[in-house]
């Protein structure tokens, strides 16, 4: 899986998207683009078609899903069987709720286990966790700072946030993790991604991935949702490109190559 924090380079070397194409099979890749999250599907699809074709991909098609009925259609589910990669665009993540628990969601999980490469950017990134961040903001770590809902569950142990440093979202991610300390919070900067496989992920791109681990923390919730949550002993890792995080062991290391892509 390739999980991108949004605003990825689509023209100058293509960075993390070039890695995605390589994982999907290079010139033999067959990529399905899911544009559900965006309000401008034609424009967004054209942009990704352009960059993927520039990177040598000849087969790029849109899978238009506008509601739950579309996500349960047999032909939509069958489209995944011919793909080597699926790409979920950014936009409004609440629209991706139409996919959650659908037949398409089930087939995505089945195909992922068999080698399909799944990528998401921005809204498409946060939807990949079992819990999806739907919104929220604020400077406090509190229940009112974050709104969450069910996600696709393809990265079940992670809560993913995007545009992370650029939009100052550490309080939001801390709030999400405080509400469910068993989850690992992963905040991904723009033009930055994690490449996940075999229970760990590597950081790619030009920014930083922030990992929040509250498994051994003390969490005390106040009576009011707007009051700050008490949070002791939370661990925070800042991982630039080349770093690796073992999800099972909850441990970070510097990888063998500290490369940007």
DSSP state of 229: P
Task: Indicate the SS3 state at residue 211.
Answer: strand
Give the span between the Cα atoms of 162 and 172, in whole angstroms: 11
Q: Which phi-psi region, left, alpha or beta, contains residue 39 (left: φ > 0; alpha: ψ -120 to 50)?
A: alpha
Phi, psi angles (nearest 5°) of residue 90 = -85, 180
Of the listed 62, 102, 142, 163, which one is catalytic?
163
To the nearest 10°, the Cα dihedral for 238, 141, 171, 101?
Answer: 90
Of the listed 102, 122, 142, 175, which one is catalytic?
122
Strand 131-135 relative to strand 117-121: parallel, antiparallel, unpaired?
Answer: unpaired
Of the listed 8, 18, 62, 190, which one is catalytic?
190
| CB-CB neighbours of 150 under 10 Å | 14
At residue 257's C-alpha, the angle toward residues 14 and 8, to 5°, is 20
Phi, psi angles (nearest 5°) of residue 30 = -125, 100
Q: At what angle do helices 15-24 and 41-54 cross, to 10 degrees?
A: 70
Token pair belonging to 71: 């996500």
Q: Annotated catalytic, 175?
A: no
Q: Annotated catalytic, 122?
A: yes
Residue in the block written with tokens 């500290």: 258
Task: Tell me which residue of 219, 223, 211, 222 sits closest to 249, measured CA to CA.
Answer: 211
Q: Annotated catalytic, 202?
A: no
Residues making up the chain, counted from first to last: 261
Q: Catalogue the active-site residues.
A: 122, 163, 190
């Amino acid at each position: 899986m390739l999980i991108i924090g949004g605003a990825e380079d689509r023209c100058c070397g293509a960075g993390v998207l070039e890695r995605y194409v390589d994982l999907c099979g290079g010139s033999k890749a067959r990529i399905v683009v899911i544009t559900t999250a965006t309000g401008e599907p034609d424009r967004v699809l054209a942009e990704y078609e352009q960059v993927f074709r520039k990177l040598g991909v000849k087969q790029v098609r849109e899978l238009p899903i506008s509601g739950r009925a579309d996500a349960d259609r047999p032909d939509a589910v069958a489209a995944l069987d011919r793909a080597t990669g699926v790409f979920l665009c950014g936009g409004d993540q609440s629209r991706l709720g139409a996919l959650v628990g659908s037949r398409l969601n089930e087939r995505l999980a089945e195909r992922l286990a068999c080698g399909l490469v799944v990528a998401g950017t921005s809204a498409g990134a946060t939807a990949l966790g079992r819990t999806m961040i739907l919104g929220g903001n604020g400077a406090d770590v509190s229940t009112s700072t974050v709104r969450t809902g069910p996600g696709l569950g393809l990265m079940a142990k992670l809560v993913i946030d995007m545009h992370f440093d650029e939009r100052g979202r550490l309080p939001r991610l801390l709030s999400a993790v405080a509400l469910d300390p068993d989850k690992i919070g992963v905040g991904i900067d723009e033009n930055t991604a994690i490449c996940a496989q075999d229970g760990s992920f590597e950081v790619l791109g030009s920014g930083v991935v922030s990992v929040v681990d509250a498994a051994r923390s003390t969490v005390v919730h106040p009576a009011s949702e707007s009051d700050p949550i008490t949070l002791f002993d939370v661990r925070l890792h800042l991982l630039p490109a080349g770093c690796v995080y073992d999800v099972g062991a909850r441990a970070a290391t510097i990888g063998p190559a500290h490369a940007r892509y």
